[in-house]
Amino acid sequence: MNARWLILCMVLFCMPLPPTYAQEETVSAANVETSWILSSSPGPHEEVIGKKPEIRVFFTVVPVAGSITTLLDGVDITPLIVPTGNGFIYKPVFQVAPGPHELTISGEDSEGNLLQAVLPFRTRHTKSFEEATLNADVTGVYTTTLRKDAHDGTTPYNAVTVEGMVQGRISEGANAFSFEASPVYVEQDKPLGAGSVEKGPDLRSFLLRGEHTGERLQARAEFGDVSVDETPFTVQGLLRRGLKIDLGYGNGALSFFTVRAPAIYGVRNTWGLRYEKDSQITGGSASLFLPCLRTDVKATFLTGEDDSTLTYGISGIETGRRTGDIASLRITSQIIPAALIADFEAAYSRYDFDDADEFGKVSDTAWRAALAGAVNQYSYDLKYEYYGRDFESIALQGGTKDREGIYFTGNALFTYHSMSIMASAFWDNVDDLSIMPRTTSIPLALDYSYTRFAQVPMGFSVYHERVKTKDEPAGFDPFDTVTDSISGRIGYIREKWNTDLNVTYTYVNDRTRADLDTSSGSYSLAFTLTPTAYWTISLVPNLVQQKNEKTNVRTDIYTTTLDLRTQPVRDLIYWDLMGSHTVADATDDSLDMETTTVSTRLACSLKRYSPTQLHPVIALKGYYQRMKDKVADTKTDEFAVFLAFEINGTFGL
Amino acid sequence: MKFMKRTLRILMFVLTLVWGANSANALSISTTPASVNAAYGQSTSVAIHYRFDTPLQQPLLSPNGRFFFNDTLIGTVNRSLNCRYTASEVLTIPQHIVETVRRAGGSSFTFSRNFHGTVHSSPSVGPDYFSADGNVTIHITPGSVAAFSLRRIELYFDNLQRKNETMVPRNFKGLRAYADIYYNGSGMLNGYWDVDGLIIERVNRFVPSGGKMTLATPDIPDLPTFDPGYHIVKFIVTAPAASFEVPEIVYWVRGVDEPVKRPLVLITPQDGSDIPADFSFTWEKMEKAAVYLVSFSREEDQSVCFSALTRNTAYQIPPPVLSRYFTAGKMFLWSVKSYDTENNVIAESGAWRFSLPEPPKP
Q: Which of A93, A439, A559 sits opposite B309 (nearest CB)?
A: A93
Question: What pLDDT is stored for residue A488 in this prediction?
Answer: 97
User: Which of the two residues, A397 and A8, has the higher pLDDT score?
Assistant: A397
Identical fold between B2-145 and B262-355: yes
Q: Is A184–B141 a contact, with Cβ atoms under 8 angstroms apart? A: no
Chain A CB contacts of B204 below 8 Å: 520, 544, 546, 555, 557
Q: Do A314 and B155 touch (CB under 8 A)?
A: yes
Architecture of domain B2-145: Sandwich (2.60)
Say how far apart CA A103 and CA A74 lie, in whole Å: 8
Question: Does domain B149-257 fall into CATH 3.30.460.10?
Answer: no
Average the pLDDT over each of A290-304, A368-382, A417-431, B205-219 and give the range with the smallest value.
Answer: B205-219
CB B37 within 8 A of CB B145: yes
Confidence grade of residue A605 (pLDDT, cut at 50, 70, 90) = very high
Q: Does A454 touch chain B (CB under 8 A)?
A: no
Question: A3 to chain B nearest CA, in Å?
Answer: 32
Task: Answer yes or no: is the ipTM higher than 0.90.
Answer: no
- Least CB–CB distance from A402: residue in B41, B155, B321: B41
Q: Could A439 and B144 be called an inter-chain contact, meaning their C-beta atoms sit closer than 8 Å?
A: yes
Element (H, E) at A208: strand A200-213
Tell me the average pLDDT across A427-434: 90
Task: Give the pLDDT confidence score for residue A13 in this predicted structure.
Answer: 39
Q: Does residue B3 register a pLDDT over 80? A: no
Contact A440, A432 (CB under 8 A): no
Mean pLDDT, range A178-183, rounded to an integer: 95
Options 2.60.40.1080, 1.10.645.10, 2.60.40.1220, 2.40.10.10; CATH of B262-355: 2.60.40.1220
CB–CB contact A21 B228 (8 Å): no
| Predicted local confidence at residue B5, as pLDDT | 63
Lowest pLDDT segment from A3-7, A193-197, A514-518, B283-287: A3-7
Which residues have C-beta within 8 Å of that of residue B6, sequence separation ≥ 6? none
Q: How many residues does this entry show for chain A?
A: 653
Q: What is the mean pLDDT of residues B320-342?
A: 87
> In this complex, how many residue pairs, one in chain A and one in chain B, have their CB atoms less than 8 Å apart?
332
A9 — pLDDT class (breaks 50, 70, 90): very low
Strand pairing category for A75-76 and B304-310:
parallel
| Distance (Å) from the alpha carbon of B17 to chain A's nearest alpha carbon | 37
Give yes or no for residue A32 having a pLDDT over 80: no
> Whole-angstrom Cα distance, residue B298 to residue B307?
12
Give chain A's mean pLDDT.
Answer: 89
* Alpha carbons B174 and B209: distance in angstroms, whole number: 30
pLDDT value for B2: 55
Q: Looking at residue B28, what is its pLDDT?
A: 85
pLDDT tens, position by position, B77-100: 998 998 888 999 999 998 889 989
Q: At B276, phi and psi to the nearest 5?
A: -70, 165
Residues sharing a CB contact under 8 Å with residue B125, sequence separation 6 or more, in sequence order: none
Q: Following DSSP, what letter does each residue of A237-284 receive, concatenated?
A: SEEEEEEEEEEEETTEEEEEEEEESS---SSSS--S-SPPTTSEEEEE
Domain at A37-124: CATH architecture: Sandwich (2.60)
Taking 60 as the threshold, does the pLDDT of residue B21 lie above it? no
Q: What is the pLDDT at residue A314? A: 83
User: Is the CA virtual torsion B285, A79, B267, B303 positive or negative?
Assistant: negative
Q: Does A318 touch chain B (CB under 8 A)?
A: yes
> Is pLDDT of B305 > 80?
yes
The two most distant CA atoms of chain B are separated, in Å, by: 142
Closest CB to B230 among A71, A161, A528: A161
Reported as a pLDDT band with limits 50, 70 and 90, residue A190 is confident
Q: How confident is the model at residue A34 (pLDDT cuts 50, 70, 90)?
A: low
pLDDT at A603 over 70: yes
Instruction: Name the pLDDT band for B24 (thresholds 50, 70, 90).
Output: very low
Rounded average pLDDT over A375-397: 93
Q: pLDDT at residue A26 above 60?
A: no
pLDDT of residue A10: 45
Min Cα separation A12/chain B (Å)? 19
Burial A538-558 (b: 16+ CB within 10 A, else e): bbbebbbbbbbbeeeebbbbb
* Beta-carbon separation of B263 and A621 below 8 A: no
Q: Which of residues 155-214 of A touch B (CB under 8 A)?
A: 161, 163, 165, 182, 184, 186, 195-197, 204-205
Mutate which: A116, A142, A435, A528, vs B, most B CBs within 10 A: A435
Per-residue confidence band for B214, with pLDDT thresholds at 50, 70 and 90? very high
User: Which residue does chain A place closest to B261, by CA atoms?
Assistant: A533
Contact B205 A522 (CB under 8 A): yes
CA of A192 to nearest chain B CA: how many angstroms apart? 12
What's the average model confidence in pLDDT over A618-633? 93
> Which tens digits make up the pLDDT trace of A119-164?
999 999 999 999 999 999 999 999 999 998 888 888 899 999 999 9
**Segments making up each domain of chain A, as ranges:** 37-124, 517-653
Question: Under an 8 A CB cutoff, do B167 and A359 touch?
Answer: no
Chain B touched by A484 (CB under 8 Å): no
User: Which chain B residues are within 8 Å of A400, Cβ to Cβ?
Assistant: 211-212
pLDDT digit string, tens, across residues B220-264: 888 999 999 999 999 999 889 888 888 899 999 999 888 777 889
pLDDT digits (tens, 9 = 90+) for B35-71: 999 998 888 989 999 998 888 888 889 999 999 999 8
Specify the pLDDT at position B23: 44
pLDDT band at residue B26, thresholds of 50, 70 and 90? low
Domain layout of chain B by residue ranges:
2-145, 149-257, 262-355
pLDDT confidence of residue B11: 57
What's residue B359's pLDDT?
62
pLDDT (tens digit per residue) in A332-367: 999 999 999 999 999 999 999 888 888 889 999 999
Q: What is the mean pLDDT of residues B156-182?
A: 88
Does the pLDDT value for residue A16 go beyond 60? Answer: no
User: Looking at CA atoms only, how far is residue A55 from chain B in angstroms?
Assistant: 16
Q: What residues are paired with A256 via a beta bridge?
A: A245, A284
Model confidence at A17: pLDDT above 50: no
Chain segment A477-519, per-residue pLDDT in tens:
888 999 999 999 999 999 889 999 999 999 999 999 888 899 9
Does the beta-carbon distance from B151 to A398 stay under 8 Å? yes
What confidence category does residue A319 fall into, taking pLDDT thresholds of 50, 70 and 90?
confident
Residues of B in Cβ contact (< 8 Å) with A396: none
pLDDT over 90 (residue A195) = no
Cβ–Cβ of A428/B250 closer than 8 Å? Answer: no
Query: Does residue A535 have a pLDDT over 80?
Result: yes
As a residue count, chain B comes to 362
Query: In chain A, positions 593-632, which contact chain B (CB-CB < 8 Å)?
Result: 595, 597, 599, 601, 615, 617, 621, 623, 625
Interchain CB distance below 8 Å, A561 and B312: no
Q: Output the pLDDT for position A276.
A: 85
One-letter amino acid at A115 equals L
- DSSP E strands, A471-591: 480-493, 497-510, 518-532, 535-548, 553-569, 573-586
Mutation target vs A (from B212, B220, B295, B358; most A CBs, 10 A cutoff): B220
Helix (H, G, I), strand (E, B) or coil at B49: strand
> Would the pLDDT of A85 be above 50?
yes
pLDDT tens-digit series, residues B96-139: 899 899 889 898 999 999 998 887 766 666 677 888 889 999 99
d(CA A606, CA A618): 7
CA distance A50 to A132: 10
